[in-house]
Amino acid sequence: MSRITVVLFAALMCLSASVSAAGIAGEAGAGLSYQPHDPSGSRYEVRPVPYLDLDWGDVSLGTDDGLTWNALKANGFSAGPFVNYLPGRTANGELQGLHDVPDMGEVGGFVQYAPADFWRVFASVGQAVGARGGVLGRVGGEVGYPVGGGVIGSSNVTAHFANARQNQAFFGVNGDESLASGIRPYNAGGGLQNVALTQSFEFPLAPHWSLLTSASWIHLTGSAADSSLVKQVGESNQGEVQAAIAYKFN
């Protein structure tokens, strides 16, 4: 999923013998994901992925949220800056003739309300740092619950927004690319890009060890769904499944 996150994960695992002394809590592991090659859903592929859900005081590192700092905390509310990684796109296969999108970083701010450990609502706005980067936003909620036998479930729904520049990077097709790829020209606009629904389960395996699974449904909307790229070689409804083995630090 993230070469930057993989490096961070490897560094954290090298320090696993001393995490308790360092005050790090949470889970770290690795697994596999079956997911779309790119946001248009032109094809699917299996990728190795890290799993990170670590806290060190007011600093957190998560697979989805990136590196965050709870600069402000009061009565369940928290807010602060974050840094995350955005995977790019290689224009091969069905995308041959289009432009590559390089990997990018994202820098922005978030706000979250989590009065209890088992549920939260959140929102974030970030700027993608890169040649084709634009502005992105997220609004969502998550709830966790016991299933039985030590199994913990969680459900998450998140709406993703992007401005025209960011959508154009992944869903736009200019005239020269249209001639090279056979995909009709398209200029993407901004707005709601997709809505994602994720169902996850954590199964205990042994003291400190767990199996983590998740399945996601991703529905493209607005300018992304209307893209000629999606209509000709992609899918507006996409799926993703992941499984990982994780170690819990405490």
Q: pLDDT of 164-217, one tens digit each?
A: 999 999 999 999 999 999 999 999 999 999 999 999 999 999 999 999 999 999
Query: Degrees (nearest 5) of the Cα angle 26, 30, 31?
Result: 130
pLDDT for 18 beyond 80: no
CA-based nearest residue to 2, from 68, 83, 79, 58: 83
The pLDDT confidence band at residue 17, using thresholds 50, 70 and 90, is very low
Listed in sequence order, the residues at least 6 apart from 66 whose beta carbon sits closer than 8 Å to its beta carbon are 5, 82, 83, 84, 85, 106
Q: CA-based diameter of the chain, in Å? A: 59
Phi first, then psi, for residue 182 (nearest 5°) are: 80, 5
What pTM, to 2 d.p., does this model score?
0.88
The two three-digit tokens of residue 215, written as one number: 């399945």
Q: Which CATH superfamily is domain 25-249 in?
A: monomeric porin ompg (2.40.160.40)
pLDDT at 199: 98
Alpha carbons 154 and 18: distance in angstroms, whole number: 30
Structure confidence at residue 237 (pLDDT)? 98
Lowest-pLDDT range of 2-16, 92-106, 139-153, 159-173: 2-16
Determine the average pLDDT of the residues in 11-26.
55
- pLDDT at residue number 132: 85
Question: What tens digit of pLDDT does each residue of 120-159 get?
Answer: 999 999 999 987 889 999 999 999 999 999 999 999 999 9
| Token code pair at residue 34 | 């079956």
Burial class (CB in 10 A: 0-12, 13-18, 19+), 168: buried
Contact 233, 37 (CB under 8 A): no
Mean pLDDT across the stretch 63-77?
A: 94
